[in-house]
Structure 1
Amino acid sequence: MKKYQTIDLTYSAFFICLMAIGSNITFWIPFLAIPIGGVSVPVSLQTFISILAGIILGKRLAAFSIFGYLLLGIAGVPVFAQMQSGIFVLFGYTGGFLLSFIVTAYLAGLIIEIKKPFTKRSIFLASLSGTLVNYLIGVTYMYIAMNTWMGLEVSYYASWVSMIPFLIKDLGLSLFITFALYSVIQRLSLLQKKHI
């Protein structure tokens, strides 16, 4: 089993902080929450950040970081959307999205590791795959939660349709990750060559 160094844990802590900040955009800007099936679903940057973690940190450290973020929230630190905390949040309609961030980060990191070196194609594939897995798990969980313990009648199709605004946002961010991150990597490579 790989032992993490201090720098790895520092990066991990940084992404845990980013996840906490990204989850609470609607706490400071309430109108960004979108009403769906009688409940208000907050817009967040967590899908974007979990994918970014996978690409930058690698599959294991990224998944470890997201797991740490979830543990922090379960322990009572208000790092979940709308400054919530506690294990009960995982049983809400967005609980599946929270749990899926571990898989999202791991998958994005795995694809980058398989497709090395960094290219626009590999970054986009990691971003797109992470986003789709995030929504597949999240929407399915939301549908089950609403139709069982939350006592709401919502079809699986309606669950997917209701998430289209969020999906468009996250697909757009996938494109942003692709071009922005690839541009940064190219510039860093040029700087390294100049100093060799």
Structure 2
Amino acid sequence: MSNTETAATKTPHAGRRRWNATDLGLIAVFAALVAASALVPGLAVNGFGVPITFQTLAVMLTGLVLGPGRGFAAVGLYVLLGLAGLPIFSQGRSGLGILAGPSAGYIIAFPIAAGIVGWLATVVIRRTIKARALWLFLSATVTSVVVVHSLGIAGIVLNTKATWGQAFLSDVVFYPGDIIKNVLAALIAVALHRAFPDILVRRVKRTAPQPAQA
């Protein structure tokens, strides 16, 4: 077997990494962080009673710090525990009934957003060294708009009698706060990656595809 074939054979397995106790601990910690951010009293609510909280900050931070798999798992764990009955959704709500309310789209979007922004974070870490905070901010902002706000609007329309226009206008109130929260998430993520590179930076570099040798 040639060196090229050997490299091609080993590369798929080299990119796989089983979660260890540290990974599971990080998932639990960040799930608790998202839960805590939801319980901080919101500053206001939009026209359909959806509160402004720090959840999007915690969700984006989770993905930016943990990457796609663990980020999705952490926020997904938070959502599952809330749906199971723990009062960890905004305003202390819980249970499956939340899926019939105006916040349903946002809650469903959170794990998806954490996974997507986590994947974008790995791309940023792999390809850039300078201006990482800017690229992470842009990643979080694009994910917020495309995933969180889009599904949030859809949830309002499906679970209320609102039109798409009314739902969009009610969602716009979240944008200024989200920009600030995405800036904070990017800055905190960069600081954490510098202080603890083993969380994601070195992990990304270890699993980066290596060029095959002839």
TM-score by length of 2: 0.75
Equivalence for 1:167: 175
Equivalence for 2:212: none
Larger radius of gyration: 2
Any gaps of 5 or more consecutive residues in structure 1? 148-153, 190-196
The answer to whether residue 172 in structure 2 is matched with residue 157 in structure 1 is no
CA contact (8 A) 2:62 2:114 kept: yes
Show CA shifts across 1:131-183 (max 9, x none): 11210111112112112xxxxxx221121111222121011211222344435
Q: State the distance in 2 between where 1:109 and 1:67 align.
A: 13
Q: State the distance in 2 between where 1:146 and 1:47 align.
A: 22
Equivalence for 1:140: 154
SS at match of 2:173: helix
Residues 77 and 159 (structure 1 numbering): CA distance in 2 closer, same or farther, change over 3 Å? same
Equivalence for 1:128: 141
Matches within 5 A, 1:35-46: 35-36=46-47, 39-46=48-55
Show CA shifts across 1:107-143 (max 9, x none): 1111111222451232122211221121011111211
CA contact (8 A) 1:24 1:80 kept: yes
SS at match of 2:49: strand
The answer to whether residue 116 in structure 2 is matched with residue 107 in structure 1 is yes
Aligned residues: 177
| Aligned partner (choices 51, 59, 62) of residue 53 of structure 1 | 62
The answer to whether residue 45 in structure 2 is matched with residue 34 in structure 1 is yes
CA contact (8 A) 2:44 2:51 kept: yes
Equivalence for 2:7: none
Residues 137 and 56 (structure 1 numbering): CA distance in 2 closer, same or farther, change over 3 Å? same
Q: State the distance in 1 between where 2:27 and 2:188 align.
A: 21
TM-score by length of 1: 0.81
CA contact (8 A) 1:35 1:41 kept: yes
Any gaps of 5 or more consecutive residues in structure 2? 1-15, 198-214
SS at match of 2:88: coil
SS at match of 1:11: helix
The alpha carbon displacement at 1:21 in A equals 1.1
Q: State the distance in 2 between where 1:185 and 1:2 align.
A: 19
CA contact (8 A) 1:107 1:129 kept: no
Show CA shifts across 1:73-92 (max 9, x none): 11111111111111111221
The answer to whether residue 33 in structure 2 is matched with residue 18 in structure 1 is yes
